[in-house]
Structure 1
């Protein structure tokens, strides 16, 4: 089969690799759509932290936002999975440690992350092996484009839940997850404001009906979600939240982002970190009955175009997400 493989910093291409075989408790999914994520770009550039801690190594088959159809089932897997339209969790815990047993498998020390950690192959390929326990069926109302947005939407679901806001919310960063946070919270009746620095991105946010600006509106907010990835933003987020309320951090900067813990203490602010969409996938699928995430996709390209997407040399419009059809 054809797969997109990163062999080193800024070195990647489409290669022929063996079609995966479903092992015990696994299925093989014929991938219909896969999203390209900022994490994929960091792997491509060599900046991704796992590459420096030994949790990832080249060559890597990337891609962790996906949807498709189960084409094969392994030993011990119910045959009724075959032919079903699915998406799935990125985080694959060992299943038996205290964290996994306690429902925190996304924090398992020995976890695989599809297309990211410990060598599990990713979804920028024609076929993808997945443990059946990680699968989530897609209803007929969710097409493959939306299905490949379930994983980032699940991150947004967890972030909005963590914010626990019913009043005024500030979302910093009009990227895919930031916009999904804003869309989900707006659908829940929250007064949402989006803050960013790039005018085309802000204009796109406004085209979705969101209040978006390059300067924070006056007053403090009942919650702030930092989805920006800028090192200076976490400290600013703490300044912008109402005392006694919550700041949620889901964006990651490429360098340490510093917060004065005295500000958290003196203002009695709760700071919450969110890693992955695990625990939010069902909620994300259900939310697509209320919001339509598909306008976030600027273009769908083939595997041969992925390197240009990762390098930032392609031009696809103001929407933040590019998806891949691996059969193109």
Structure 2
């Protein structure tokens, strides 16, 4: 089959690789659609922390936002999965440790992350093997775009849940990327009054489509404090800004990751009696994202700017925008498309 392979920092190519086989407890999925994520870009450039600490090594087969259809079953897998449209959990815990047994497999010390951490190949390929235990069914009527946006949607929904919103509260989302706009959409359907802050006018143009007001961060002051602030930005100063803009006794949720360390003064947290939550991964939010998408309450499709084949991915990873791309922040991949 054809797959994208990162062979070294700044080097990615599409080539033929052995097709996966379903071992015991596994399935093979034919990938319908996959997303190119900021994490994939960091893997491409070699800047992801997992590379520095040795958890991930080249060559890497990336891709962790996807949807597809189950085409093969390994021994012990329920035959009801065969032919079903599915998405999958990126986080694969060991299944044996106390964290996994308590339902916290996403922070298992020995976890692998599909296409990101460890040696589990990702979904920027025609087919993908993964444990059946990681599967979540999606309905036939869900669009390929929405299916491949379940994974980022699950993370965004977890961030909104961590904000503990009540109807009518003012919520600020820092960053109008995929996660930020999805968090805005989920906050809006929970009844919040949502503001999205981003310095890029083209990014803010989408905010209204997701139930939010768009503003330039430079226009925000401490006088306009918010009951909850969700930091979905990749800027190193953003967590401190989130703390500054949160009301006393409010919530700050950190889901964005900067390429360089961020600095927070713990006194600012204590003096404002803030509750701060960090979100890693989408695991416990996947079913909720599927439900909201299926009900039509959140429609993520406008986030997709373009769909390319595998051959178009190296240029996207290098920062090129596909010809004719729309305003959305996300580029999707149809692994079966040629040229």
**Normalising by the residue count of structure 2, what TM-score does the alignment of the two structures yield?**
0.95
Aligned position for 1:307: 314
Aligned position for 1:148: 148
Q: CA deviation at 1:204?
A: 2.5
Which of 232, 236, 243 aligns to 2:237? It is 232
Q: CA deviation at 1:207?
A: 4.5
Summarize deviations over 1:8-44 as a string: whole Å, max 9, x none: 1110110100000001100000000000000000000
Aligned position for 2:220: 216
Aligned position for 2:328: 319
What is the correspondence of 1:74-93 to structure 2 with a 5 Å cutoff? 74-93=74-93
Aligned position for 1:109: 109
Aligned position for 2:40: 40
Q: Provide the C-alpha distance between the structure 1 equivalents of 2:25 and 2:211, rounded to a whole number of angstroms.
A: 44
Larger displacement relative to structure 2 (120-129 or 286-295): 286-295
Larger displacement relative to structure 2 (152-161 or 307-316): 307-316
- Give the root-mean-square deviation of aligned CA atoms: 1.0
Q: CA deviation at 1:109?
A: 0.6
Q: CA deviation at 1:208?
A: 4.2
Aligned position for 1:180: 182
SS at match of 1:305: helix
Q: CA deviation at 1:210?
A: 2.2
Q: Provide the C-alpha distance between the structure 2 equivalents of 1:303 and 1:10, rounded to a whole number of angstroms.
A: 16
Q: Provide the C-alpha distance between the structure 2 equivalents of 1:190 and 1:206, rounded to a whole number of angstroms.
A: 14
SS at match of 2:55: coil
Summarize deviations over 1:185-219 as a string: whole Å, max 9, x none: 11111100000111111122234442001022752
**Normalising by the residue count of structure 1, what TM-score does the alignment of the two structures yield?**
0.98
Q: Provide the C-alpha distance between the structure 2 equivalents of 1:80 and 1:283, rounded to a whole number of angstroms.
A: 22
Aligned position for 2:278: 273
Summarize deviations over 1:155-174 as a string: whole Å, max 9, x none: 01100000112211000000
Aligned position for 1:258: 263
SS at match of 1:319: coil
How many residues are paired up? 328
Q: Provide the C-alpha distance between the structure 1 equivalents of 2:125 and 2:191, rounded to a whole number of angstroms.
A: 39
Summarize deviations over 1:279-311 as a string: whole Å, max 9, x none: 110000011111110111011100000011111
Q: CA deviation at 1:130?
A: 1.0
SS at match of 1:300: strand
Point out where structure 1 has 5 or more consecutive residues left out of the alignment: none
SS at match of 2:284: coil
Q: Provide the C-alpha distance between the structure 2 equivalents of 1:209 and 1:95, rounded to a whole number of angstroms.
A: 39
Please tell me whether residue 64 in structure 1 is matched to residue 64 in structure 2.
Answer: yes
SS at match of 1:280: helix
Larger displacement relative to structure 2 (284-293 or 217-226): 217-226
Q: Provide the C-alpha distance between the structure 2 equivalents of 1:259 and 1:102, rounded to a whole number of angstroms.
A: 30
Which of 226, 243, 250 aligns to 1:245? It is 250
